[in-house]
Amino acid sequence: MKNNNQQILEGSQAIALTIKAIRPDVVSAYPITPQTHIVEGLAKFRADGVASYEFVRAESELAAASIVVGASAAGSRVYTASSSQGLLLMSEVIYNIAGMRLPVVLTCANRALSAPISIWNDQQDVHAVSNAGWIMLFSETHQEAVNQHIMAYKIAEQLRLPVMVNVDGFVLTHTYEPVEILNEKQIAKYLPAYKPKKGDFLDPDNPVTFGALAGPAVYMEIREGLHDDLVNSLQTIKEEYRKFNKAFPDLSTVSNKKYAVIDDGLVEYYGPKKPKIILVAMGSVAGTLKDVADEVNIQKFNFNNVGVLKIKTYRPFPSDAVVDIIKKAKCVAVIDKAITLGNIGPLAIDVKAAAQGRYNNKIQSFVVGLGGRDITKGMIKKIIKEAAKNNNEVKFVGKA
């Protein structure tokens, strides 16, 4: 199958084609920049008669999320997508989806939050709902986004946990890259048709309740159960990543095998075996970090021996995998495209929490790219220099 299905596609087109080939039963979404091209594509497939799913037009993101809740609870495979303020409008239902253990898959085309209004990319939107109980994946490239969407359904339906795939708005949704798109038959070999078990969906002949009122005597245990299942999902994510790559070896997203690459579906490490500094990030910015690491390691620029740790699974947070990698370095620079206002970057908070008592060297928080600000190689090299300094304050890099 090598290269038989490779095309040059906009990221949104690649995602829409992949969702079509996955064959959901119900699709519902409300358009919002930069997610719009995904659901436009899905609507057109249905209108042209090349897809059989029910496409339900909604009057808002809250309505779209509610529609897929009903469809999923009735035993259907479902899909939705959103961005920014739209995701926040969905937030009430986002929490309900996780609490009711519905295997919903959602694409978040990451975009800045208001106010002020911005239609451009950063990752503040997903962090606003990062504690809702969803598995959250982040994509660096079009191919990784395609792969993660296919795996998302396998993971969600196996564990009865919702999965959100995050792709940087415009940076991925509106740019063109080579990407291999699997057809329905190829996907079906890895992801069979969805057949929920009795008791996992609404059925008049086998009554069940979703989202019932829970008093103080049971609420805490229910939430603890959701937490435990999320934590335990790390092993399933790793296993499904292994199975997917075994089934489709030509779709590997490892970009350069000359380095000691660690890639297990949770994290990816790119760089020397004994780095002095490790840059940690999520999403498309990882590509820029890898390019800078290549230049720095060749030129022996200041703090040479730079590695890049890309977080692919953000929720549940893969603490052990992260610490196993960063413990090799003398210092760590966490690069966020978001800010926890009044604190440090949200990814930096997670890395520091994971490292508590297990890694005693410096972990610095850097914020870049808010509101779509360009992230240049020069900015990353500045971060490399700053990371070696003893400073625990968050640093905004690339300000006008």
Contact 279, 308 (CB under 8 A): yes
Mean pLDDT of the chain: 95
Predicted TM-score of the model (pTM): 0.96
Residue 300 pLDDT class (50, 70, 90 cuts): low
- In the prediction, which pLDDT does 380 show? 97
Contact 81, 38 (CB under 8 A): yes
Residue 322 pLDDT class (50, 70, 90 cuts): very high
Q: Is the pLDDT of residue 258 over 70?
A: no
At residue 275, φ and ψ (nearest 5 deg) are: -75, 150
Residues sharing a CB contact under 8 Å with residue 356, sequence separation 6 or more, in sequence order: none
- In the prediction, which pLDDT does 255 show? 62
The CA-atom distances, in angstroms, between 313 and each of 55, 58, 63, 223 are: 29, 30, 28, 21
The full set of domains in the chain, from first to last, is 6-249 (3.40.50.970), 262-396 (3.40.50.920)
- In the prediction, which pLDDT does 257 show? 56
Amino acid (1-letter code) at residue 331: C
pLDDT digits (tens, 9 = 90+) for 231-252: 999 999 999 999 999 999 999 8
Residue 260 pLDDT class (50, 70, 90 cuts): low
- In the prediction, which pLDDT does 377 show? 97
pLDDT digits (tens, 9 = 90+) for 93-115: 999 999 999 999 999 999 999 99
| Gap between the Cα atoms of 44 and 82, Å rounded | 18
